[in-house]
């Protein structure tokens, strides 16, 4: 079968190409990719090329398919997996594989390390190790984009689970955020910060009593407040506050004042910016845990940390990089019970938009860029649909559907787009 895919050949060298997939082996699965969401990690992979820990050294001769937040449908299942999966199953993938190869651990991932599997493709061959590691996950919810966004949601789920607190008088650590505690999410209205807010508000087993979400961009704060409202948070027993620290004379003092001058039990930092990290440290409560979530591109990135408080106030820091299988399963489960990740999505595009968008991702404002791999479509902000609808029936209808859903993407919008994408003339418009 032929596939069309965006492949990485080297630093910033992404090419959309058509080529033949090999016939699947008895331990492999052929799949159709429907959606993929672009990730800053893919930008880092493209920027670093073979310097990236997951990118093979021979990509110039054996390019890999980019993209790791994807969902689709199984088409053909090899005999080894025929009792577990069947054609027609919808799927999501936990991409961060880790498996033993003799005495050496292999760190590889679809979207970074493989010739025939990655999210920015029309069809892929899922290799045996994905199933062996239980990383091919059934998705039984509506639509496809929620399953694409299960991977980023799993990352924030993993971060919440990785936080810990101490038990007075012992060395026992209690994993997890503080139930009923005070939480701050700094630089928290980007895509991943919004995913964290969404998860905190929907979680059933534990939650903070106070959730402060900060940023310095008032427009993004206002958008977040219309999606994840203070009123909904209150109905869940959470005092949610969106705070523009750029308007504060003394952010540390004022944030601590919001906490009742006790500080915050759990602080999550969603930007690799030294002042933000140091602000997070300064507002920690006794036994407070700072989670440095944002992955810096600079291997020498550092910030000051108050070690007086580490010793006397038991403050501590953790870092997480991605979720695991359990986190992915939890993400898919919580979405099946009502969590909609549509608030993360601000742009829609086709496969032909991937290379340019990935290589310039930090320069494109907004949240997640959602790609439908069987479409030819410029990367288009949802906010532009109404204007584009003046000359396009497709975008006029999409604008009406999004308006019904508080300006957000939805299963209804996705279904309409996928059912009408055959009209390429409609899709080939100026973004």
- Per-residue pLDDT, 101: 52
Using 50, 70 and 90 to split pLDDT, how confident is the model at 106?
low
Which of these three, 290, 319, 348, is where a domain ends? 319
Q: What is the pLDDT of residue 195?
A: 94
pLDDT computed for residue 159 by the predictor: 96
Pairing of strands 380-381, 64-65: unpaired
Mean pLDDT of 341-349: 95
**Average pLDDT score over residue span 170-174:** 89
Residue 426: pLDDT over 60? no
Cβ distance 401 to 410 under 8 Å? yes
Mean pLDDT of 103-126: 85
**DSSP conformational letter for 187:** T
User: pLDDT over 70 for what percent of the chain?
Assistant: 95
CA pseudo-torsion sign 301, 304, 308, 312: negative
Domain boundary among 319, 354, 376: 319
- Are 214 and 302 within one domain? yes
What is the structure's pLDDT at 216? 97
Question: Closest Cα partner for 184 from 207, 224, 213, 215?
Answer: 213
What's the pLDDT band for 176 if we cut at 50, 70, 90?
A: very high
Q: What is the pLDDT of residues 42-101, one digit of tens each?
A: 999 999 999 998 899 999 999 999 999 999 999 999 999 999 999 999 999 998 886 555
Mean pLDDT of 197-216: 96
Taking alpha carbons only, the member of 30, 230, 240, 252 closest to residue 126 is 30
Closest CA relative to residue 68, chosen from 291, 345, 371: 371
Residue at 155 is within a domain: no
The pLDDT of residue 98 is 63
Task: For residue 424, name the pLDDT band (cuts at 50, 70, 90).
Answer: very low
What's the pLDDT at 322?
A: 78
Question: Does residue 418 have a pLDDT over 70?
Answer: yes
Q: Is 23 part of a structural domain of the chain?
A: yes
CATH (domain of 271): 3.40.50.720
What secondary structure, in 3-state letters, does 114-130 show?
CCCCCCCECEEEECHHH
Q: What is the CATH number of the domain that holds 351?
A: 3.90.180.10
Alpha helices in 316-410 (DSSP H): 325-336, 354-359, 385-388, 393-404
Measured CA to CA in angstroms, residue 397 lies from 95, 275, 373, 408, 415 at distances of: 34, 44, 21, 14, 12
Tell me: do 191 and 281 sit in the same domain.
yes
* Domain-embedded: residue 159: no
- In this predicted structure, the answer to whether residue 105 has a pLDDT above a threshold of 70 is no
pLDDT band for 422, please (50, 70, 90 cuts).
low
Tens digits of per-residue pLDDT, 35-47?
999 998 899 999 9
Residue 135 pLDDT more than 80? yes
Tens digits of residue pLDDT in 115-125: 999 999 999 99
Of the candidates 18, 15, 116, 23, which has an alpha carbon nearest to the alpha carbon of residue 64? 116
Q: Where on the phi/psi map is residue 67: left (φ > 0), alpha (ψ -120 to 50), or beta?
A: left
263, 214: one domain = yes
What CA–CA distance (Å, rounded) separates 112 from 94? 13
Q: What is the mean pLDDT of residues 377-382?
A: 96
Q: Is the pLDDT of residue 111 over 60?
A: yes
* Pair 197, 78 in one domain: no
330 in any annotated domain: no
- Dist CA 167 CA 181 (whole Å): 15
- Domain co-membership, 186 together with 309: yes
7 and 33 assigned to the same domain: yes
- Residue 418 CB neighbours (<10 A): 16
> 111 with 193, same domain?
no
Q: Region 232-254: what's the mean pLDDT?
A: 97
Q: Are residues 311 and 382 in the same domain?
A: no
Q: Would strands 70-77 and 29-37 be described as parallel, antiparallel, or unpaired?
A: antiparallel
pLDDT value at position 430? 38
In angstroms, the Cα distances linking 121 to 21, 110, 289, 427 are 11, 11, 40, 19
Q: Which pLDDT does position 100 carry in this prediction?
A: 55
Phi-psi map region of 49: left, alpha, beta (phi>0 left; psi -120 to 50 alpha): left
Residues 140 and 25 reside in one and the same domain: yes
Are 297 and 424 part of one and the same domain?
A: no
Mean pLDDT value of segment 308-329: 92
For 262-301, what is each residue's pLDDT tens digit?
Answer: 999 999 999 999 999 999 999 999 999 999 998 887 889 9
Q: Is 136 found in the same domain as 269?
A: no
- Asked whether residue 327 is domain-assigned, the answer is no
Half-sphere exposure of 66 (CA within 13 A, CB side): 35
Q: What is the pLDDT of residue 413?
A: 97
What average pLDDT is seen over the chain?
93
Helices (H), 149-289: 150-162, 191-202, 218-227, 230-235, 251-258, 274-282
Average pLDDT in the 230-249 region?
A: 97
Tell me whether residue 325 is in a domain.
no
pLDDT at 237: 97
Long-range contacts of 12-21 (CB under 8 A, 24+ apart): 12/46, 12/47, 12/49, 12/359, 13/46, 13/49, 14/46, 14/66, 14/354, 14/355, 14/358, 14/359, 15/63, 15/355, 16/351, 16/352, 16/354, 16/355, 21/116, 21/123, 21/124, 21/125
- Is 308 among the domain residues? yes
Phi, psi of 12 (to 5 degrees): 55, 20
Does residue 230 register a pLDDT over 90?
A: yes
- Domain shared by 209 and 292, yes or no: yes
Across the range 145-172, mean pLDDT stands at: 92
Please indicate whether residue 161 or residue 151 has the higher confidence score (pLDDT): 161
Give the chain's end-to-end CA distance (angstroms, integer). Answer: 32
Total domain count, the chain: 2
328 within some domain: no
- Full domain range(s) for residue 224: 166-319
């Amino acid at each position: 079968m032929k596939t069309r895919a965006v492949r990485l050949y080297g630093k910033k060298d992404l090419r959309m190409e058509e080529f033949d997939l090999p016939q699947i082996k008895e331990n492999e699965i052929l799949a159709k990719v429907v959606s993929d969401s672009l990730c800053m990690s893919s930008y880092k992979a493209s920027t670093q090329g073979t310097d990236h820990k997951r990118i093979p050294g021979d990509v110039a001769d054996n390019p890999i398919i980019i993209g790791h937040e994807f969902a689709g449908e199984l088409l053909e299942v090899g005999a080894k997996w025929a009792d577990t999966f069947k054609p027609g199953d919808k799927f999501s993938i936990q991409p961060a594989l880790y498996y033993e190869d003799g005495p050496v651990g292999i760190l590889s991932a679809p979207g970074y390390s493989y010739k025939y599997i990655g999210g920015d493709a029309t069809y892929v061959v899922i290799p045996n190790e994905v199933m062996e590691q239980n990383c091919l996950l059934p998705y039984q919810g509506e639509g496809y984009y929620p399953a694409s966004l299960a991977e980023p949601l799993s990352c924030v789920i993993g971060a919440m689970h990785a936080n810990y607190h101490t038990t007075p008088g012992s060395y026992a650590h209690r994993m997890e955020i503080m139930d009923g505690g005070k939480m701050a999410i700094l630089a928290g209205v980007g895509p991943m910060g919004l995913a964290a807010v969404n998860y905190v508000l929907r979680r059933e087993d534990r939650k903070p009593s106070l959730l402060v979400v900060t940023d310095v961009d008032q427009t993004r704060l206002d958008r977040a407040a219309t999606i994840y409202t203070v009123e909904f948070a209150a109905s869940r027993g959470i005092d949610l506050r969106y705070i523009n620290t750029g308007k504060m004379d003394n952010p540390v003092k004022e944030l601590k004042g919001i906490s009742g001058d006790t500080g915050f039990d759990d602080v999550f930092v969603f930007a690799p910016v030294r002042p933000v990290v140091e602000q997070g440290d300064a507002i920690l409560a006794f036994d407070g845990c700072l989670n440095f979530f944002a992955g810096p591109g600079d291997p020498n990135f550092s910030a000051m940390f108050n070690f007086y408080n580490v010793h006397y106030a038991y403050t501590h820091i953790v870092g997480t990089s991605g979720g695991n299988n359990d986190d992915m399963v939890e993400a898919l489960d919580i979405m099946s019970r009502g969590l909609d990740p549509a608030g993360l999505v601000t742009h829609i595009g086709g496969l032909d938009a991937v290379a340019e968008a990935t290589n310039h991702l930090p320069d494109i404002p907004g949240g997640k860029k959602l790609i439908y791999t069987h479409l030819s479509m410029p990367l288009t902000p949802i906010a532009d649909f109404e204007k584009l609808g003046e000359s396009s029936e497709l975008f006029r209808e999409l604008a009406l559907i999004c308006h019904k859903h508080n300006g957000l993407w939805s299963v209804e919008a996705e279904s309409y787009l996928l059912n009408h994408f055959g009209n390429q003339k409609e899709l080939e418009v100026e973004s």
